[in-house]
Amino acid sequence: MKTTFLKLGASLALVSALILTQSCSDSDNKSGVGNGEAEFQITDAPTDDADVKGVFVTVTDVKVDGVSVSGFTKQTIDLKAYSEGTTKLLATSNLAAKSYSNLTLVIDSDFDASGTAPGSYVLTNDNVKYKLRDSGTIDITLNNTWKVSANTKSTIILDFDIRKAIRKVDNAAVRYNFVSNDNLKASVRVVSQSDAATINGNYTEQVNTNADKLFVYAYKKGTFDAGVEGQPQGDDKILFKNAVTSAEVKGTLNAKTYKLAFVEAGEYELHFASYDVDSNDDVNLQALLTSTITLGASSPNIVTIQGGVNMNVTTSVTAIN
């Protein structure tokens, strides 16, 4: 009899444990607890410096909430090689499915991935390397919100805007430096790929700009101030500092296009500028341009972006300011 009661008790305990386990599992699923795959990729918005052949940064660590992600190895990346929607894989890691707001890139100034100096530098057209920081590592901590979904892959894009991240200096032996730490942080966007889209543009001119180079700048609706953005700002002298992203307008005289990649959902104004390139290969702002946009725009110069829905627009420049 004792044996019967013991067996019955054990069976009841097992059933209770199974019910409790199932209950916890259901509760976890309802609350969104679980893991997902986070894929971190890096890309670049272009530089307007005609003398820059490459911009190399050595990423020595990637951290989420202060903890190094698994699956990452030190990499030296030519940012200039990854633009207009092309990306370089940094790491793939298994993370808890939830929202995050702290992502850190650790940049090595001294040594690249093979142990060769320097670690982060500008390569000019004459194949000279200019180190971007005197020494040490730089922690770029980004506080943008992004999310990892359970049981699926979430792709997180780090958009490194070279134009805002490096500056020219008067010392010919140094020539280029990273901007201040605050401006360097502001030069990197964190974008969830699923929440972003691409603006593909065709560009025409009703007036001849005679420009050596043309660039387009995307601003959140209502944030563009021509009197401010067209002037160098701060000690780092950044033009169009508050642009979300930018792209070069490329092509032949009668067939020019541009591509703004990884633009997050929202309403944007597109503003264009012409540049001339002098005998020293210095690129100088020539003029701001007035333009109208058709196809996919709710009103002139306003483009509404929805995550995952790419937009095709046509731009016509109507005046030189």
Domain ranges across the chain: 34-186, 197-321
Structure confidence at residue 302 (pLDDT)? 86
b/e map of 295-315 (b: 16 or more CB within 10 Å)?
A: ebbeeebebebeeeebbebeb
Which class would CATH give 197-321? mainly beta
Structure confidence at residue 294 (pLDDT)? 83
Q: What share of the chain is helix, strand, coil (3-state, %, to 5)?
A: 15, 50, 35
Q: What is the DSSP letter of 47?
A: P
Block residue for tokens 């002139």: 300
Cis, bond preceding 118 (omega within 30 deg of 0): yes
Whole-angstrom Cα distance, residue 284 to residue 31? 54
The whole-number mean pLDDT for each consecutive block of 10 residues of the chain, a chain of 321 residues, reads 39 40 41 83 90 96 96 95 95 96 97 98 97 96 95 97 94 95 96 96 94 96 96 96 97 91 96 92 92 69 89 93 92
Q: Which residues pair with 58 in a beta bridge?
A: 76, 108
Structure confidence at residue 230 (pLDDT)? 95
Structure confidence at residue 274 (pLDDT)? 97
Structure confidence at residue 13 (pLDDT)? 43
Structure confidence at residue 204 (pLDDT)? 94
3-state secondary structure 294-310: ECCEEECCEEEEECCEC
The H or E element spanning position 94 is strand 88-96
Among 66, 79, 74, 162, residue whose Cα is nearest residue 116: 74
CA dihedral 284, 288, 294, 298 (to 10 degrees): 120
Whole-angstrom Cα distance, residue 249 to residue 258? 5
| CA dihedral sign, ordered 201, 203, 209, 214 | positive
Cα distances (Å, whole numbers) of residue 86 to 41, 75, 89, 270: 10, 17, 10, 21
Structure confidence at residue 33 (pLDDT)? 66
Residue 160, token pair as written in the block? 């490194």
Structure confidence at residue 251 (pLDDT)? 93
Whole-angstrom Cα distance, residue 97 to residue 100? 9
